[in-house]
Amino acid sequence: MSVNVKTIAEMKAQGESPEILFWVGCAGSFDDRAKKITKAFAQLLDKAEVKYAVLGTEESCTGDPAKRAGNEFLFQMQAFSNIQVLNMYDVKKIVTTCPHCFNTLKNEYPELGGKYEVLHHSQFLQQILEDGRLTIEGGSFKGKKITFHDPCYLGRGNGIYEAPRALIEKLDSEMVELKRSRANGLCCGAGGAQMFKEAEPGAKEINIERTEEALEVQPDIIAAACPFCNTMMTDGVKHFEKESKVKVYDLAELVAKAADLK
Amino acid sequence: MISQILFAIALGVAIYFFGRAISKIRRNILLGKDLIFTGTPKDRMVTMLKVAFGQTKMSARPIPAVLHFIVYAGFLIINIEVLEIIIDGLFGTHRVFAFLGPVYNFLIGSFEILAFLVFVACVIFLIRRNTLKIKRFFGREMTAWPKSDANYILIIELLLMGAFLKMNAADYLLQGMGADHYVKAGSYPISSWLVAPLMSGLSEGALIMIERGAWWFHILGILAFLNYLPYSKHFHIVMAFPNTYFSNLKSKGALTNMASVKKEVELMMDPNADPYAVPAPDANAEPQRFGAKDVQDLNWKQLMNAYTCTECGRCTDECPANKTGKLLSPRSIMMDTRDRLEEVGKNIDANKGVFVDDGKGLVHDYISKEELWACTTCNACTEACPINIDPLSIIIDLRRYLVLEESAAPQELNMMSTNIENNGAPWQFSQSDRLKWATED
Ligand code: SF4
Ligand code: SF4
Distance B137 CA to ligand 2 centre (A): 12
Residue to probe by mutation, ligand 2, list B55, B136, B315, most atoms within 8 Å of CB: B315
Q: Is the CB of B78 under 6 A from ligand 1?
A: no
Residue B368 near residue B398 (C-beta atoms within 8 A): no
Residues of B in contact with A157 (CB under 8 A): 251-254, 379
Residue B46 has, within 13 A of its CA and on its CB side, a CA count of 6
Q: Strand A52-53's sheet: what is its strand order?
A: A52-53, A20-23, A93-96, A117-120
Task: Please give the residue of chain B at the shortest CA–CA distance from A56.
Answer: B435
Q: How far is B425 from chain A (nearest CA, A)?
A: 5
Q: Is the CB of B313 under 6 A from ligand 2?
A: yes
Closest partner CB to A56 (pick from B257, B383, B434): B434
- Which of A86, A74, A77 is closest to A114 using CA atoms? A86
**Cβ neighbours of residue B286 under 8 Å, at least 6 residues apart?**
none
pLDDT in tens, B209-255: 999 999 999 999 999 999 999 999 999 999 999 999 999 999 999 99
- The pLDDT value recorded for residue A262 is 63
pLDDT in tens, B108-139: 999 999 999 999 999 999 999 999 999 999 99
What count of other Cβ atoms lies within 10 Å of the Cβ of residue B354?
A: 7
Hey, which residues 149-188 in chain A have their CB within 8 Å of chain B?
152-153, 156-159, 183-184, 186-187
Residue B257 near residue B393 (C-beta atoms within 8 A): no
Distance B377 CA to ligand 1 centre (A): 5
- Which of B438, B320, B32, B68 is closest to A40 using CA atoms? B438
Average pLDDT of the residues of chain B: 94
Is residue B81 over pLDDT 80? yes
Q: Is the CB of B336 under 6 A from ligand 2?
A: no
Q: How far is B230 from chain A (nearest CA, A)?
A: 32
Distances from the Cα of B60 to the Cα of A185, B262, B386, angstroms: 13, 39, 9
Give yes or no for B402 touching A (CB within 8 A).
Answer: yes
Mean pLDDT of B398-403: 98
| SS3 state at B422 | helix
Second-level CATH architecture of B259-423:
Orthogonal Bundle (1.10)
Is residue B311 over pLDDT 90? yes
Cα separation, B119 vs B117, in Å, equals 5
Residues of B in contact with A112 (CB under 8 A): 257, 262
Cα separation, A164 vs A251, in Å, equals 7
Residue B222 near residue B10 (C-beta atoms within 8 A): no
Residue B159 — very low, low, confident or very high, per pLDDT cuts 50/70/90?
very high
- The pLDDT value recorded for residue A198 is 96
- Which of A93, A98, A1 is closest to A43 using CA atoms? A1
Is residue B277 over pLDDT 80? no
Q: Is B310 exposed, middle or buried (0-12, 13-18, 19+ CB in 10 A)?
A: buried
Residue B330 near residue B317 (C-beta atoms within 8 A): no
Give yes or no for A241 touching B (CB within 8 A).
Answer: no
Closest ligand to B396 CA? 1
Residue B163 near residue B221 (C-beta atoms within 8 A): yes
Hey, which residues 404-433 in chain B have their CB within 8 Å of chain A?
404, 409-410, 412-413, 415-417, 420-421, 424-427, 429, 431-433
Q: Is the CB of B64 under 6 A from ligand 2?
A: no
Regarding pTM above 0.90, the answer is yes
Size of interface A-B (CB pairs under 8 A): 224
Closest partner CB to B374 (pick from A5, A57, A200): A200
Closest partner CB to A200 (pick from B268, B373, B437): B373
Is residue B378 over pLDDT 60? yes
Closest ligand to A194 CA? 1
pLDDT in tens, B321-338: 999 999 999 999 999 999
- The pLDDT value recorded for residue B278 is 55
Q: How far is A145 from chain B (nearest CA, A)?
A: 26
For chain A, domains (ranges, CATH) are 8-127 (3.40.50.1860), 136-258 (3.40.50)
Give the pLDDT means over successive 10-residue stretches in chain A (262 positions).
Answer: 88 97 98 97 97 98 98 98 98 98 98 98 98 89 95 98 96 95 97 96 98 98 98 98 98 94 73
As for the ipTM of the complex, it is 0.97
Q: How far is B429 from chain A (nearest CA, A)?
A: 7
**Cβ neighbours of residue B228 under 8 Å, at least 6 residues apart?**
B152, B156, B234
Q: How far is CA B363 from the centre of its chain?
A: 22
| SS3 state at B328 | coil
Which residue's CA is the closest to the ligand 2 atom numbered 2?
B385
Residue to probe by mutation, ligand 2, list B55, B232, B248, B311, most atoms within 8 Å of CB: B311
The reply to whether residue B416 touches residue A73, judged by beta carbons under 8 angstroms, is no
Residue A116 has, within 13 A of its CA and on its CB side, a CA count of 32
Residues of A in contact with B257 (CB under 8 A): 72, 76, 108, 111-112
- The pLDDT value recorded for residue B281 is 54
The reply to whether residue B434 touches residue A108, judged by beta carbons under 8 angstroms, is no
Give yes or no for B390 touching A (CB within 8 A).
Answer: no
Position B329, amino acid: S
Least confidently predicted of A74-83, A146-155, B177-186, B419-428: B177-186
Task: Please give the residue of chain A at the shortest CA–CA distance from B418.
Answer: A74
Domain ranges of chain B: 2-245, 259-423
- The pLDDT value recorded for residue B282 is 58
Of all residues in chain A, what percent carry a pLDDT higher than 90?
Answer: 94
Task: Please give the residue of chain B at the shortest CA–CA distance from A210.
Answer: B320
| SS3 state at A58 | helix
DSSP annotation of A54 reads B
Residue to probe by mutation, ligand 1, list B305, B314, B392, most atoms within 8 Å of CB: B392
Cα separation, B378 vs A178, in Å, equals 17
